[in-house]
Amino acid sequence: MIQKKLAVLLAAVALVLALPAGSRNAAAQTSQSAEIVLVLPFENVSNHPEYNWIGESFADSLSALLNKPGLIVVTSEERAVAYQRLRLPLTVLPSRATAIKIARELKASMIVIGTYNVVVPPSTSDDKSTPPVDKPLATIAGEARVVRVNEGRMAGDIFDGAWAPRVYDFSDQVTNLQRLHGELAYQILFQRDKALSFSRNQLIQEATKVPPQAYEALQKGLLSPERDPTRAIYFKNALLLFGKENGGEVYPQAAFELGRFYFNQAQLKEAIEYFTMLKRKDLHYGEAQFYAGLAYWKTGDIANALATLIPLADEKVMPLVGVYNNAGAVSVEAARGEKKPAEQTRLLGQGIALLKRAVDSSPDDTTVLFNYAYALFLAEKYPEAAEKLETVIAANQRDGQAYFLLAKVQERASHAEAANAADNQARKYMPQQSYAKWQTDWQKSQSLATLALRSRDVLNQIDISDWNRTKAIEATNANNTQDALNKIRDLYQQGRDDEALAEIGKVLIVEPTNAEAFLLSGRINQRRGDQEAAIAALKTSIFWDPPPKMIDAHILLGRIFLERGDLGEARKYAASAINIDPSNQEAMALQRQVTMGRRP
């Protein structure tokens, strides 16, 4: 198997190295073509601080609208993490130098910055006798600029041989703020790429899908202090206004923020209500599920905690230490209360597997190690449990619970001296009443029913940001690869084989396990009469993408071997093609040919 893998990798390397150096360099540049964009809150230069929320709204809305193929946009959460790393207050409006420093921390290549002025007609702010329907509306005017981080200057154009920075002016009534966001996003995107796949109207529709009053309420809520009751009032208004205008639909961001507000207030039932409103497609769905699962666990609803956390612990969904820890700990908790032996064994095994993933990801995390040790103790793996507990104690030599658990592990392992030593430490560091209760329970039932598994109550925002960034890059690369494969297919259909092979090499530099690229290479080499290269490419295609997708590679290999007179190999691939899809016409034709033993 190792030799086979090596042969496959060598085939891939050979295809890539066959490219001219210039093509390889171009491919490397293509893999880095996605730009990372940071949108900072715009600065309010008016004397109306009550409109400060508009500045954050530009950052929030433009970040969503600019998130198009070829661009990876920094989220507000990622921006907050960068501020923390640089020890900047979240409310600071950075200078251009500081903005570039923030961008470099986030590896962003573009920054969008701006200022705005709000004009409030006197009757709006002072003349209360004027009926509201007749009051003139506040207006907003301002400008935005794009900074190219690596160049250290404003984005722009060359006019008459001189560099002219591009300024994006905007103005409208405040009630049309979201339309302004859409207009501005379109101008920025169009300046970067004149061949956009969407129209100005489509982007404006995307920008204005949230009712203006609901959007304003959300933005004001986000700027309210974390524990201020008015924060919840704003979010509830946003939820109500959105639902009223959209047939009862949920405003996902408002629901998520309400869930967080109540979770931070330890009002867990209310937190669950709002967190569970989010759907899988919503931006903060994973975080909402994490906190909902944690809230279920803390309220003793183990069944719902399991149902919420276990799907989240899939490596493709949210592979974070906190998720693995909580999902594993809840599984162990469920196993501890399960009466059916088979189900108890399954749940304990599930918990151990999840906690091991957490330990592998974060070997020094004492919360995870404590839970893992307890699960190993329940599974009667005493030496391993003792080893983990010793690591926990080394990090905190006053952890009385860890000493108590270690004492019982050593007692079960018949290490009396070590058990007594750990027990003495447990007596020393645990509250007397707690120690007495734990010891009484142990003497009665030889169990540790009072031991509480340790939860991770907060998801690390840096971990979330890194994971989201990885997903965004993967999605961008996938889009770029698909575009490249479409181009290769067109070149193949036009008979432009040399150009197609050069493009295939570029794809394989970025994604060396792309099965379809190898399949296309096999087709082209077969057409060119290079059977050895075709066979190598087709076998590699099958290796990287086994049935049922690569039936074409099996059929083509069968035809090549039949043409070479190798009936044994031809029959093998004909049979595998039929096994993949018995109704495939080309596979059936190949099967007839190899059965008759004749060449096509």
Render pLDDT for 224-234 as a digit per residue (tens, 0 to 9). Answer: 988 899 999 99
Choose between 158 and 594: higher pLDDT: 594
Q: Please give the average per-residue pLDDT across 371-383, as a whole number.
A: 95
Per CATH, the homologous superfamily of domain 34-209 is ABC-type transport auxiliary lipoprotein component (3.40.50.10610)
In the chain, list all ranges with CATH 1.25.40.10.
Answer: 212-301, 321-458
Q: State which CATH number among 1.25.40.10, 3.10.20.30, 3.20.20.10, 3.30.390.50 fits the domain covering 212-301.
A: 1.25.40.10
Q: Return d(Cα 162, Cα 19) in angstroms, integer.
A: 39
Q: What is the pLDDT of residue 547?
A: 53
Q: What is the pLDDT of residue 468?
A: 66
The four Cα atoms 78, 282, 43, 182 give a dihedral, to 10 degrees, of 130
Q: What is the pLDDT of residue 123?
A: 59
Q: What is the pLDDT of residue 214?
A: 95
Q: What is the pLDDT of residue 594?
A: 84
**Is 356's pLDDT higher than 70?**
yes
Q: What is the pLDDT of residue 116?
A: 96
Residue pLDDT, tens place only, 528-558: 888 888 898 888 888 887 555 678 888 888 8
**Which of 73, 148, 35, 68 shows the shortest CA–CA distance to 465?**
73
**Is 458's pLDDT higher than 50?**
yes
| Out of 213-222, 498-507, 572-581, 590-599, least confident range | 590-599
Q: Please give the average per-residue pLDDT across 196-218, as a whole number.
A: 91
**Is 195's pLDDT higher than 60?**
yes
**Is 20's pLDDT higher than 80?**
no
**Which of 501, 544, 506 shows the shortest CA–CA distance to 523?**
501
Kindly give the residue spans of alpha helices, DSSP state H, lying in 70-121.
Answer: 76-85, 96-105
Grade residue 372 by pLDDT with cuts at 50, 70 and 90: very high
**Is 17's pLDDT higher than 50?**
no
Q: What is the pLDDT of residue 479?
A: 67
Q: What is the pLDDT of residue 243?
A: 95
Q: What is the pLDDT of residue 130?
A: 43
What integer best gives the mean pLDDT of the chain?
A: 85
**Is 283's pLDDT higher than 80?**
yes
pTM for the predicted model, two decimal places: 0.71
Q: What is the pLDDT of residue 125?
A: 46
In the chain, list all ranges with CATH 3.40.50.10610.
Answer: 34-209
Q: Return d(Cα 428, Cα 425) in angstroms, integer.
A: 5
**Which of 139, 198, 190, 196 shows the shortest CA–CA distance to 168?**
190
What's the token pair of residue 243?
A: 């639902």
Q: What is the pLDDT of residue 497?
A: 87
Q: What is the pLDDT of residue 153?
A: 78
Q: Please give the average per-residue pLDDT across 135-161, as a whole number.
A: 82
Q: What is the pLDDT of residue 317?
A: 66
What's the CATH class of domain 321-458?
Answer: mainly alpha
Residue pLDDT, tens place only, 378-397: 999 999 999 999 999 999 99
Q: Return d(Cα 403, Cα 397) in angstroms, integer.
A: 9
| Out of 39-53, 118-132, 188-202, least confident range | 118-132
CA atoms in the 13 A half-sphere facing the CB of 532: 3
Contact 480, 488 (CB under 8 A): no
Percentage of residues in the chain having pLDDT higher than 70 = 87
Q: What is the pLDDT of residue 465?
A: 67
Q: Please state the separation of Cα 421 from the chain's center in Å.
A: 46
Contact 481, 507 (CB under 8 A): yes
Contact 351, 383 (CB under 8 A): no
Q: What is the pLDDT of residue 233?
A: 96
As beta bridge partners, residue 73 has 37
**Is 98's pLDDT higher than 90?**
no
Q: In Å, how far are 33, 260, 391, 453, 456 from 294, measured between CA atoms?
A: 39, 12, 26, 12, 8
Q: What is the pLDDT of residue 201?
A: 93
Grade residue 2 by pLDDT with cuts at 50, 70 and 90: very low
